[in-house]
Amino acid sequence: MTTIKIGTRRSQLALWQANHVRDALCKVHPDLEVEIVGISTQGDRTLDVPLATEGGKGLFLKELEQELLTGDIDLAVHSMKDVTVSLPLGLHIPVICLREDPHDALVSNQYADLSGLPEGAVVGTCSVRRQCMLKHRYPVLRTENLRGNVNTRLKRLDAGEYDAIILAASGLKRLELSARIQQIIPADLMLPAVGQGALGIECRQDNAEVNHLIAPLDHLVSHCRISAERAVNEALSGGCHVPLAAYAEVSENELHLTAQVGRIDGSELLTARATGPLSEAVPLGRAVAQDLIAQGAQQILMAYAG
Q: Which residues of 20-58 are buried (b: 16+ CB within 10 A; e: fewer)?
A: bbbebbeeebeeeebebbebebebbeeeeebbbebbbbb
b/e map 219-253, b = 16+ CB within 10 Å:
beebbbbbbbbbbbbbbbebbbbbbbbbbbeeeee
Instruction: Read off φ and ψ for residue 119, nearest 5 degrees.
Output: -55, 135
Which of 108, 260, 94, 284 lies closest to 179, judged by CA? Answer: 108
What CA–CA distance (Å, rounded) separates 237 from 258?
A: 17
Q: Which residues are catalytic?
A: 82
Cα–Cα distance list, 101 to 25, 72, 104, 149, 172 (Å): 22, 32, 9, 19, 10
Is 243 in a helix, a strand, or coil? coil
